[in-house]
A and B are shown apart, each in its own frame.
Chain A
């Protein structure tokens, strides 16, 4: 589903990703762990197509397509969802308006009919209920006045409504208390399926107790330096990154 081959990425002329290769197959959950500054968020931003992340070498293929040739909104239309580490506040745009506009933009991209207001409302309410978000919150401006945990839950509501094929979750667990962590984990687990894949980017092993990965990779200094099964996460937690990377 996703094949990254010898990827090099620079930001403002500084190379951050230095030859990263990774293959993710449908149905799999991969965790990418690593110390601060290893390039975890750079990888997520590059896959989503953010400006200023310059790919200097290597390739990324997604569902058989050259991902790097697609504009960010086309990547979203192809089913890639990025859960933001710091979800953005947008005053003046309600969550409902935002979600409906986004969903219908994706459906147009895929040549599917747009959802009407009533069908969309039902979908949004159902998904929000699963993630314990009230209708009142859906009506509010995107992330404005939301706590850290509410913002992350809102990311999960968006993910559930947009129903992506590949979810890249950038530190979705950071800043969550234990109840919010459980809710968010439920949201991630609900997305698991044989035709989907999830890339979890995280600093801590905590999330992986709730969302059990198939593969764990250690990213350090722009490269994957170790890969293993779910037990690798526990080893890292016990011994620290320095020992694992050495």
Chain B
């Protein structure tokens, strides 16, 4: 096998465990994904090969949790748990959080996950006991600072016991250095459990962000993802959900806001393996001049997965003729008694609505901002937590450079 620029970085870890070595070998045999692969058509990671390889050093502590949310906060700075910035005392009963230094091996054919397993300095394990409904959200803040040409690999595992419930809020952010943050999140939901997963991707303007979420749902378990992508120069997110028992349900809500030079790509994979499972995907994109988004939504229905109900809606607004929004629904259905629908629209702001607003006195820029805010807010309408919903709207407003109201 030819030398890889990653070899030096891996050697630099010094005395890596057999487990890390195996993960690295796995990565070496897979190689970095390339745009020649259908799945990676919209994202170019070639730049990672030359830069952003060295493990990021520990940076200064920063604490910027989502406004208005109390509850436990775990901060990872440059990939490592930052105990001083975190707020982990007095955890609610039934919630356990453990950090260890040896990430589990991936066992998957995903190159970025293999690389993550080789390099991630730590793994965070979140466990919710059977029957425990945690009433305060758990916040994970991933912050990268002063990390030019460096990579931060973070790895999180969430295990929900039977009938357990948790709201997990993740926020990715960083400074203007040219870094790469690569996350792997594994979720296992036991019977009747619910995970509300709110994700704010607000990485630094020169960064590369990659995220892989893998969810396995048992009978009646629910996974509800609310995801706003505004940051990074290149962002690639994958969400894999396996519905393994009857009654499992997933909601995926992804909003992408891209401006000049940004490329935001989300790929979902909803795997309905057995009968009587459901999923509902909604994607919204707002793309300004020379920005690009892609939403590739895949639904796979196995031969025996009768009475699957899988919905998918994607809507994009282009603010300029040089903006690009790609939407690619993919349905692979092997059962015959299913309800699977998808719809996609790409358009501009409604001229009649804009005129209505300016006639009432709003300057054009403000009118556009209000319509875009409404377009994005609509996607988060069925998020029950007011504070979180407001936080999404505020994050969308930040995208406009508007002071959050």
Instruction: Name the contact of B360 in the complex, choosing from A51, A71, A76, A91 (C-beta under 8 A).
Output: A76
| B366 contacts partner chain A, Cβ-Cβ < 8 Å | yes
Judge whether A87 and B356 touch: CB under 8 Å. yes
Residue on A with the closest CB to B372? A92
Judge whether B374 and A91 touch: CB under 8 Å. yes
B-side contacts of A89, CB under 8 Å: 353
Stretch from A10-18, A95-103, A180-188, A210-218 at the B interface: A95-103
Judge whether A71 and B358 touch: CB under 8 Å. yes
A-side contacts of B358, CB under 8 Å: 49, 71-73, 76
Residue on A with the closest CB to B367? A73
Number of residues of chain B lying within 8 A (CB) of chain A? 24
A-side contacts of B362, CB under 8 Å: 73, 101-102, 105
Judge whether B359 and A82 touch: CB under 8 Å. yes
| A48 contacts partner chain B, Cβ-Cβ < 8 Å | yes
B-side contacts of A103, CB under 8 Å: 361
Residue on B with the closest CB to A107? B361
B-side contacts of A39, CB under 8 Å: none
Judge whether A48 and B359 touch: CB under 8 Å. yes
For A51, A71, A77, A92, the residue with the greatest tally of chain B CB atoms inside 10 Å of its CB is A92
Q: For chain B residues 264-321, which have a beta carbon within 8 Å of chain A?
A: none
Evaluate whether A71 and B374 lie within 8 angstroms (CB atoms) in the complex, with A51-B351, A51-B355, A90-B353 already known: no
| B185 contacts partner chain A, Cβ-Cβ < 8 Å | no
For B352, B371, B375, the residue with the greatest tally of chain A CB atoms inside 10 Å of its CB is B352
Q: Smallest CB–CB gap between A120 and chain B, Å? A: 13
Evaluate whether A102 and B373 lie within 8 angstroms (CB atoms) in the complex, with A51-B351, A88-B352, A88-B353 already known: no
Number of residues of chain A lying within 8 A (CB) of chain B? 29
| B394 contacts partner chain A, Cβ-Cβ < 8 Å | no
Cα(A92)–Cα(B369), bound, Å: 12
| A158 contacts partner chain B, Cβ-Cβ < 8 Å | yes
Binary interface profile of A, 116-135, with partner B (CB < 8 Å = 1, else 0)? 00000000000000000000
Cα(A93)–Cα(B350), bound, Å: 14
Cα(A187)–Cα(B304), bound, Å: 63
Evaluate whether A72 and B355 lie within 8 angstroms (CB atoms) in the complex, with A101-B362, A105-B362 already known: yes
Q: Smallest CB–CB gap between A239 and chain B, Å? A: 35
Cα(A12)–Cα(B371), bound, Å: 27
Evaluate whether A73 and B361 lie within 8 angstroms (CB atoms) in the complex, with A90-B374, A91-B374, A101-B370 already known: yes
A-side contacts of B356, CB under 8 Å: 84, 87-88, 90
| A106 contacts partner chain B, Cβ-Cβ < 8 Å | yes
A-side contacts of B353, CB under 8 Å: 88-90
Q: Smallest CB–CB gap between A111 and chain B, Å? A: 14
Judge whether B364 and A73 touch: CB under 8 Å. yes
Evaluate whether A77 and B361 lie within 8 angstroms (CB atoms) in the complex, with A88-B356, A101-B366 already known: yes
Cα(A16)–Cα(B359), bound, Å: 22
Cα(A87)–Cα(B352), bound, Å: 9
For A49, A77, A84, A90, the residue with the greatest tally of chain B CB atoms inside 10 Å of its CB is A90
B-side contacts of A93, CB under 8 Å: 370-371, 374
Evaluate whether A73 and B374 lie within 8 angstroms (CB atoms) in the complex, with A90-B353, A90-B356 already known: no
Cα(A48)–Cα(B358), bound, Å: 10
Cα(A196)–Cα(B206), bound, Å: 55
Instruction: Name the contact of A92 in the complex, choosing from B357, B366, B373 (C-beta under 8 A).
Output: B373
Residue on B with the closest CB to A78? B361
| B377 contacts partner chain A, Cβ-Cβ < 8 Å | yes
Instruction: Name the contact of A102 in the complex, choosing from B352, B360, B371 (C-beta under 8 A).
Output: B360
Q: Smallest CB–CB gap between B395 and chain A, Å? A: 16
Residue on B with the closest CB to A75? B359
Cα(A76)–Cα(B364), bound, Å: 12
Cα(A109)–Cα(B358), bound, Å: 12
20 CB < 8 A contacts A-B: A49-B358, A71-B364, A72-B358, A73-B358, A73-B363, A77-B361, A88-B353, A89-B353, A90-B357, A92-B373, A92-B374, A92-B375, A92-B377, A93-B370, A98-B360, A98-B370, A101-B362, A102-B357, A106-B361, A158-B360
* 10 closest residue pairs by CB, A with B: A92-B374, A102-B360, A106-B361, A76-B361, A88-B356, A92-B378, A72-B358, A105-B361, A93-B374, A73-B358
* Chain A residues in the interface with B (C-beta under 8 A): 48-51, 71-73, 75-77, 81-82, 84, 87-93, 98, 101-103, 105-106, 109, 158, 162
User: Known pairs A87-B356, A105-B366. 4 more at Cβ < 8 A?
Assistant: A71-B363, A72-B358, A103-B361, A162-B361
